[in-house]
A = this chain, B = another copy of it.
Amino acid sequence: MQPRKAEADRTFIETARRAQIVDAAIDTIAEVGYSRASLGRIAARAGISRGLISYHFTGKEELITEILRGVIEQSRAYMLPRITAQSTGPGMLRVYIESNLTFIREHRNHLIAIVEIARHRIAEGAPRGLPDHEPDQAVRALAQLLARFQKSGDLRSDFDPRAVAIAIRAAIDVAPARLSADPQFDIDSYAQDIIQVFDLATRTAD
């Protein structure tokens, strides 16, 4: 499951093709769902032959991994500075939810695709009791943030940060599916409502 060669060695064409294939794969998964997104369909959308994907990627696995890697990297780059800029608990929580949902709105298909991938990975690929899957990492990171502000007295301390982190991630991760199923869904007003919910739930009674 290694890339075919080191990134630095890639030709211009190879780099461009890989990007083109990744984009086609994201749009295909977002449109027809993970398990209908065959290499044939992805190739058709990119306007190339099936074999070409096998030439540029060692297998479907590497293609999917590349999608995850790229999108996660982009979302980190967008959200992390915004979140760490906040110094108060409620502020951090607001910006955490807000930046997540803004990123989802602005990268609709990318997020629909990785949520699709994550679901199938959790459900099937995983032999039960796997070490570390992606959603767990997000939950753990958020739980740590919450715990830190609990300790500093900036958030109420009578809740389990892990449980609340699970609920917050669940509320965020459901948004891409909503977006794709319901064109009416207004993600910005959803964001505001969710922010209020978790603000009221975690804010110290002062």
Contact = CB atoms under 8 A, between A and B. Distances in A.
Contacts of A173: 170, 174
A167 B189 contact: no
A88 B162 CA distance: 29
A160 B174 contact: no
Contact of A174 (B130, B170, B178): B170
Interface residues of A, number: 45
Contacts of A124: 32-36
Interface in A121-164: 122-124, 126, 128-130, 133, 136, 158-160, 163-164
Given A166-B174, A171-B167, A196 B159 contact: yes
Interface stretch (A1-9, A72-80, A197-205): A197-205
Contacts of A182: 136
A20 interface: no
The residue in A173, A182, A193 that gathers the most chain B C-beta atoms within 10 A of its C-beta is A193
Q: Helix, strand, loop or mixed for chain A's interface?
A: helix
Nearest to A120: B35
The residue in A122, A126, A158, A183 that gathers the most chain B C-beta atoms within 10 A of its C-beta is A122
Interface in A16-34: 32-34
Nearest to A183: B129
Given A189-B160, A201-B201, A119 B129 contact: no
Contacts of A130: 181
Contact of A178 (B34, B35, B166): B166
Interface in A55-84: none
Interface in A80-103: none
Nearest to A129: B183
Nearest to A119: B119
Given A35-B120, A119-B119, A126 B181 contact: yes
A26 to B, nearest CB: 15
